[in-house]
Structure 1
Amino acid sequence: MASTANYFLWKTIFDAELAAKIGKPTADRAVGMANSLSHRVMATNAVLTGYTGGIERKRWLLNHEGVAIYQ
């Protein structure tokens, strides 16, 4: 998704928020799947899912960057 490139510079975003920004508010699952290479897209309920590097690596990266996660 080329339109997501602007959101990943030191920012996390929920999949539903990103879906709404691209004009597809009901496509949150598709957005999450399409961005599985990015640890910065999170499920709307803040559950760590969908990162191809693994959940533990995603958790470590987010903690390392100072992102508050609730798990």
Structure 2
Amino acid sequence: MKTVFIQTPMGVLEIIGNLEGLSAVLFKDAETSTISEKVPEELKDAVLQLQEYFEGERKEFNLKLSPEGTDFQKRVWNELLNIPFGKTSSYLQMANKLGDPKVIRAAASANGKNPISIIIPCHRVVGSDGSLTGYAGGLHRKKWLLEHESSSLQQSLF
């Protein structure tokens, strides 16, 4: 596995992966992370696409993903990939799309364990009433990401 640390408008991201795909994109505390001077070849495309996303130039990612998790977690993470840029879904809608409204808590738990932030857009899942609910990267980052996507959509309309 290769690792790179990049600076973003929301702080430091740690990107982990290899030729099989990305296994993690994680928010880090700046005090514990040093920005990488060199990007491993296997992670260059991920770094470029994330930079384009933060610059408002990318709305979809085209990367090989290889997150580690249970079969159910992977089903939830695959469902997250279907939430369009600038849109949101609720935990209940996620559970319904997985075929059983009773799995709402399990779906929420799997959502919170998503190891590939931003690219697998768990930040696009909100409460049924539209409220910002938990986010492993912190609610301030979830709010920033949703506002970033909303403003990027508005800009592209003109």
Relative contact order higher in (CA < 8 Å, ≥ 6 apart): 1
**How much identity, in percent, do the aligned residues show?**
39
Partners of 1:61 and 1:6 lie apart in 2 by 15
- In the alignment, what sits opposite 1:4? 79
Give the letter for the 2:100 counterpart. Answer: K
Partners of 2:104 and 2:130 lie apart in 1 by 13
User: 1:57: how far off?
Assistant: 0.5
Segments of 5+ residues of structure 2 without an aligned counterpart are 1-73, 115-121, 152-158
User: 1:18: how far off?
Assistant: 1.0
Say if 1:30 and 1:53 are closer, same or farther in 2 by CA, change over 3 A: same
Q: Which of 44, 48, 53 is residue 128 of structure 2 equivalent to?
A: 44
| Runs of 4+ displaced beyond 3 Å | none
Say if 1:19 and 1:58 are closer, same or farther in 2 by CA, change over 3 A: same
Structure with bigger gyration radius: 2
- In the alignment, what sits opposite 2:102? 26
Number of matched pairs: 67
Segments of 5+ residues of structure 1 without an aligned counterpart are none
The structure whose residues are more often strand, as a share, is 2
CA-based RMSD of the aligned residues comes to: 2.0
- Indicate whether 1:62 and 2:150 are aligned: no
